[in-house]
């Protein structure tokens, strides 16, 4: 009897020992990738040979891959191998990543501007973005950009940006408005650090020169007609990302906080016209699937800056940035509250092409330079522009969304106009 009892206890012990043994990854295979390096995918993935088999980690690995410009879609498969060990397969559908960029915007005042560029989003097969743009907005501009989020490891990267940007900028004075030719020549260095699946930061410095030249309009004795300033900008960006992608559909939320401190190093009376200032804004993005073909998309931006009574305020009201149909830089402020909401509905969908309709409302308000928070409720600062649009999407080319939007203002002194571009508006 005692022998039978001991044998029974031994069997129970062996059983629980076997069932509590962790499932592990015996082999990890990546399939379908051609230009995206297998070694790079392994670098990013939490899944490793010999590691614990964890469904939550597998899901995060797949979402992380789908966030890469080079990946159109990805999924995983798990097969039993032997002795509680499993073989894991990642199947990758790649995007074409050498992409043209185009933004074109007009209003009923016959304004016309565009930005065209060419970028490779998967340089060397390692998710490195490199390219440049040319812009015509009355004057010509250009920029060159390099961004490698995982240049040194699966957490540490680097970004370098150079631009020579020239535009005609309206300046709003007590005596009326004036137009200045504005040139910004800058060089930026950013360090990039990814903490984990949700959190990342970037921090760095920009050295730039701003040059203002009077063209026409109102003048004031305290505002010079021509001046130039050398400046330094310190930047810190924090991002929380909980977005998931399924081809053209997006679900989840994302928050990006951008903080900057700008100091004048030399120039017009060491910055008496444009003093040192602090600025921050936070973009909250929220996406929700509606049925099989719908996607509700939202962006809320809240931003504040130092509040001197200066005509050169940092937040602008602009067609291509925040309110579709409003015009090209029609006003400025030292604070912003902005909401873009739109419903995207898929009209046609096949292996490579998608057509979406789009119904939107863009609305926002700005704080006047030197003003107070009551300015946000002032009717002359509030702009609301509903509109409609179309999206033509190539499912196998990264960011290959050609958009056409028409916004029509319903608030005081409103305009209307078309906005064209590559990529979703937000």
The verdict on 346 and 254 lying in the same domain is yes
Start-end of H helices in 215-321: none
Radius of gyration of the chain (CA): 26
pLDDT score at 271: 53
- State yes or no: pLDDT of 37 exceeds 60: yes
The whole-number pLDDT of residue 373 equals 94
Identify whether residues 103 and 80 lie together within a single domain: no
In a domain, 205, yes or no: yes
**Same domain assignment for residues 128 and 79:** no
Same domain for 88 and 125, yes or no, is: no
* CATH at 72: 3.10.20.310
Query: Domain for residue 3, yes or no?
Result: no
pLDDT at 16 over 50: no
**9 found inside a domain:** no
pLDDT in tens, 110-126: 567 888 999 999 999 99
Condensed to tens digits (0 to 9), the pLDDT of residues 346-386 reads 999 999 999 999 999 999 999 999 999 999 999 989 999 99
Residues 215 and 332 in one domain: yes
Lowest mean pLDDT among 94-108, 284-298, 304-318: 94-108
Helix or strand or coil: residue 154? coil
Q: Is the pLDDT of residue 51 over 50?
A: yes
Structural domain harbouring 396: 98-422
CA 329/CA 176 separation, integer angstroms: 16
Domain-ending residue, one of 74, 94, 114: 94
How many residues are listed for the chain in this entry? 426
The residue to which tokens 């050398």 are assigned: 230
The model's pLDDT over 302-357, given as tens digits with 9 standing for 90+, comes to 999 999 887 778 898 888 889 999 987 788 899 999 999 999 999 999 999 999 99
Nearest to 56 by CA among 198, 192, 254, 250: 198
Tens of pLDDT along 128-176?
999 999 999 889 999 999 999 999 999 999 999 999 999 888 887 877 8
Q: What is the CATH number for 192?
A: 2.40.160.50
Q: Which residue, of 94, 109, 125, is where some domain finishes?
A: 94
Boundary residue ending a domain (94, 126, 144): 94
Residues 211 and 340 in one domain: yes
pLDDT band at residue 210 using 50, 70 and 90 as cut-offs: very high
In a domain, 13, yes or no: no
Q: Are residues 72 and 38 in the same domain?
A: yes
Query: 259-289 burial by CB neighbour count: b if 16+ within 10 A, else e?
Result: ebebebeebbeebebbeebebebebbbbbee
Residues 63 and 183 in one domain: no
Same domain as 402, residue 370: yes
The rounded mean pLDDT for the chain is: 90
Residue 6 lies in a domain: no
pLDDT one-digit tens code per residue, 163-175: 999 988 888 787 7
pLDDT band at 101; cut points 50, 70, 90: confident
Contacts of 254 (CB under 8 A, 6+ apart): 239, 240, 241, 242, 243, 283, 284, 285
| Rounded Cα distance, 327 and 414, in Å | 10
352 plus 225 within the same structural domain: yes
Q: What is the pLDDT of residue 224?
A: 85
Q: Specify if 58 maps to a domain.
A: yes
Residues 269 and 287 reside in one and the same domain = yes
Q: Whole-angstrom Cα distance, residue 95 to residue 396?
A: 5
pLDDT band at 8 (very low <50, low <70, confident <90, very high): very low
Do the domain assignments include residue 179?
A: yes
| Total of domains in the chain | 2
Instruction: Say yes or no: 74 and 190 in one domain.
Output: no
Contact 26, 85 (CB under 8 A): yes
Structure-block tokens of residue 79: 């097969």
| Domain assignment of residue 331, yes or no | yes
Tell me the percentage of the chain whose pLDDT exceeds 70: 92
Q: How far apart are CA 123 and CA 128, in angstroms?
A: 5
């Amino acid at each position: 009897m005692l022998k039978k009892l001991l044998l029974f206890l031994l069997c129970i012990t062996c059983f629980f020992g076997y069932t509590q043994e962790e499932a592990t990854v015996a082999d990890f295979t990546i399939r379908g990738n051609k230009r995206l390096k297998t070694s790079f995918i392994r670098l990013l993935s939490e899944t490793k040979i010999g590691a614990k088999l964890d469904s939550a980690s597998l899901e995060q690995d797949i979402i992380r891959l789908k966030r890469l410009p080079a990946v159109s879609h990805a999924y995983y498969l798990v097969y039993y191998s032997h002795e509680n060990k499993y073989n894991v397969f990642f199947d990758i559908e790649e995007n074409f990543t050498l992409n043209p960029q185009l933004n074109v915007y007009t209003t009923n005042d016959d304004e016309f501007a565009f930005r065209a560029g060419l970028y490779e989003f998967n340089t060397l097969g390692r998710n490195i973005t490199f390219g440049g743009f040319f812009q015509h907005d009355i004057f010509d501009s250009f920029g060159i950009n390099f961004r490698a989020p995982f240049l040194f490891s699966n957490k540490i990267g680097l970004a370098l940006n150079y631009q020579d940007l020239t535009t005609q900028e309206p300046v709003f004075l007590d005596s009326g408005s004036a137009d200045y030719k504005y040139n910004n020549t800058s060089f930026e260095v950013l360090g990039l650090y990814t903490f984990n699946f949700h959190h990342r930061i970037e921090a760095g410095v920009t050295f730039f020169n701003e040059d203002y030249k009077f063209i026409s309009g109102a003048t004031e004795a305290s505002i010079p007609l021509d001046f130039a300033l050398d400046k330094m900008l310190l930047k810190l960006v924090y991002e929380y990302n909980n977005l998931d992608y399924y081809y053209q559909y997006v679900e989840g939320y994302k928050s990006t906080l951008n903080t900057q401190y700008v100091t004048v190093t030399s120039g017009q009376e060491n910055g008496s016209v444009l003093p040192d200032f602090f600025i921050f804004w936070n973009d909250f993005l929220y996406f929700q699937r509606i049925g099989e073909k719908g996607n509700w998309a939202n962006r809320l931006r809240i931003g504040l800056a130092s509040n001197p009574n200066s005509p050169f305020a940092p937040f602008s009201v602009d067609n291509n940035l925040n309110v579709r149909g409003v015009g090209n830089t029609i006003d400025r402020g030292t604070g912003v509250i902005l909401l873009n909401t739109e419903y995207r509905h898929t009209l046609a969908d096949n292996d490579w092409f998608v057509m979406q309709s789009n119904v939107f409302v863009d609305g926002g308000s700005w704080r006047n330079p030197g003003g107070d928070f009551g300015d946000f409720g002032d009717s002359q600062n509030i702009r609301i522009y509903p509109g409609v649009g179309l999206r033509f999407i190539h499912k196998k080319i990264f960011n290959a969304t050609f958009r056409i939007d028409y916004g029509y203002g319903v608030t005081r002194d409103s305009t209307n106009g078309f906005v064209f571009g590559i990529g979703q508006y937000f």
